A and B are shown apart, each in its own frame.
Chain A
Amino acid sequence: MLKKFLDTILFTEIGQGLKLTLRHMFMKKVTSQYPREKLVLADGYRGFIAHRRYDDGVERCVGCDLCEAICPAKAIRVVSDIHPEVPDRRYAREYTLDFTRCIFCGFCVVACPVNALSMTKEFAHSSFTRNGLIYSKEQMLALGDRAGADSDAYLKVRNMWEAESSGKDEGHYHFPPISLGG
């Protein structure tokens, strides 16, 4: 009773609160000054999606439409065709990914049977028009050429996660060094 009275007239609880805020004033700050000071992104970061190539420079995409089928945001459009130069090989004559609709879920990367798609660590793409964010296959290939190491790292990390959760030796991503003609 006396203690409660003393606590009230001496503002004990407010004093505790003031102590806490004062202590936080001298703590390390969490702000990072973004454009000048960038955080290191994890290998599993799901940034902009890139098209990948085989080691000899031939694009991996075979135009199978699986990514279009699985895309929950319906951001992908594929028009596949027979390769004009290599017989028995199909490719995507047109491939567009609408990054204004993409939700960066990574399903297309999982669905791709030839590991033609992967996610990079690039995220700061912006445009003044909507068309500027609808990427053609050429743009996505350029992205893959630019951030090839990131896309490899993403697939490797995915592989590791899948292996861990399934108990097998490795996940379903393979990196065949061979090319499929061309």
Chain B
Amino acid sequence: MANDLIGALVVMLGVLFVVLTMIAYLTYLERKILGFMQDRLGPMEVGPWGLLQPLADGIKLLSKEDIIPSEANRAIFRIAPVISLVPAILAFSVIPFGHDSFSILGLTLHPYIADINVGILLILALSSIGAYGILLGGWASNSKYSILGALRSAAQVISYELTAGMSVIGVLILSGSMSLVKIEDAQSGGFWHWYIFPQIVAFVIYVISGIAETNRTPFDLPEAESELVAGFFTEYSGMRFSLYYLAEYANMIIVSSIATILFLGGWNPPLPALGFIPPVIWFLVKVYFFLFFFFWIRATLPRLRYDQLMRFGWKIMLPVSFANIIVTGIAAYFLER
């Protein structure tokens, strides 16, 4: 019993460490990929090929002055970035990144922190809480740019969370479980079992609303630089600013992981013969494919107009995702007979 507890703690610390390192290096990766796509080199000065840039950024952000605007609501201003970051990190607790439990030094380590039977619901709930951090931060800053960014963000996240949730339902119908581990197990045995093929519509909808939920280009209206300076975190500086930043990248990893688990079979290798490569590697490869896709989209597409964003979300994405649920439900009902 005590061993189980220590094992779980080790996994938690490991996941936290890996996730925070991944977030730090995602910023590097994004700048590098964006630079390369724009015929530039990206960061090159700190360390070989700029590899120590995230470290330098971290030191810089930690040592910056923490400015609180005089008219701001101080308590909420302080707590809002934390409200944004904590759910984003918390969501990693139900992400399974491997298959078999393994034991080191007599401790049994599971490839996930928790396998609860409502895993996907928990993640959707946590990502909704993250929106409160943005909304409160924007409101507490007492600045016109912040409040506009926060309002846009609230409207956008609510609209697109709906479609993201709807697109997930098709997968839930097919797998018959909300546990992420069981969803992955249901897709084992080759890429033709992956849910991307029967659920291609849901996959496209999920990726689009995932980009929108994480407030990234082309849906980055909440932090539209050209109109709103930096949107909801205009007034933030130093470490609080970087907490928002970390939350954004943590959300990106979460969205990529969920897309991997639901549609690309998670840790399952594409061919059963490729099973000798550890499941963790397969999981990371797929997650990084999605993260690369995020950067790729950012380098390619311009920002949407606000009414286009809303029209697209409510008039196109939502009806299509409803249709997908109905078709999937009918097909699953008749095929199971």
Contacts and interface: CB of A to CB of B under 8 A. Distances in A.
Contact of A30 (B40, B44, B300): B40
B40 A31 contact: yes
A123 to B, nearest CB: 21
A3 interface: no
B21 interface: no
B301 interface: yes
Contacts of B301: 14, 17
Contact of A21 (B40, B41, B44, B296): B296
Given A31-B41, A33-B44, A14 B33 contact: no
B41 A25 contact: no
Contacts of B36: 24-25, 29
Given A14-B301, A18-B300, A20-B300, A29 B41 contact: yes
B300 A25 contact: no
Given A14-B301, A17-B301, A24 B38 contact: yes
Nearest to A24: B37
Contacts of A33: 41, 44
Contacts of B300: 14, 17-18, 20-21
A39 interface: no
B332 to A, nearest CB: 23
Contacts of A41: none
Interface residues of A, number: 14
B40 A29 contact: yes
A22 interface: yes
Interface in A1-44: 14, 17-18, 20-22, 24-25, 27-31, 33
Interface string B51-93: 0000000000000000000000000000000000000000000
Contact of B39 (A17, A18, A22, A29): A29
- Which one of A17, A18, A21, A33 has the highest number of Cβ atoms from chain B below 10 Å of its Cβ? A21
Contacts of B41: 29, 31, 33
Contacts of B38: 24
B162 to A, nearest CB: 21
Contacts of A21: 37, 296, 299-300
Contacts of A28: 39
Contacts of A17: 300-301
A22 B299 CA distance: 9
A19 to B, nearest CB: 9
A37 to B, nearest CB: 11
Given A14-B301, A17-B300, A20-B300, A25 B33 contact: yes
Nearest to A30: B39
Nearest to B41: A31
A180 to B, nearest CB: 52
A27 B35 CA distance: 11
A33 B299 CA distance: 23
A24 B296 contact: no
Contacts of A31: 39-41, 44
Contacts of B44: 31, 33
A41 to B, nearest CB: 22
A9 to B, nearest CB: 9
A27 B36 CA distance: 8
A29 B41 CA distance: 7
B40 A25 contact: no
A31 B38 CA distance: 10
- Which one of B40, B44, B300 has the highest number of Cβ atoms from chain A below 10 Å of its Cβ? B300
Contacts of A24: 36-39
B53 to A, nearest CB: 15
Contacts of A29: 36, 39-41
Contacts of A22: 37, 296
Contacts of B297: 18
Interface in A73-104: none
Given A17-B300, A25-B37, A30-B39, 13 more contacts: A14-B300, A14-B301, A18-B296, A21-B296, A21-B299, A21-B300, A24-B36, A24-B39, A25-B36, A27-B39, A29-B36, A31-B41, A33-B44
8 residue pairs, one from A and one from B, having the closest CB atoms: A31-B41, A17-B300, A21-B37, A25-B36, A21-B300, A21-B299, A25-B37, A30-B39
19 contacts: A14-B300, A14-B301, A17-B300, A18-B296, A18-B297, A20-B300, A21-B300, A22-B37, A22-B296, A24-B37, A24-B38, A25-B33, A28-B39, A29-B36, A29-B39, A29-B40, A31-B39, A31-B40, A31-B44
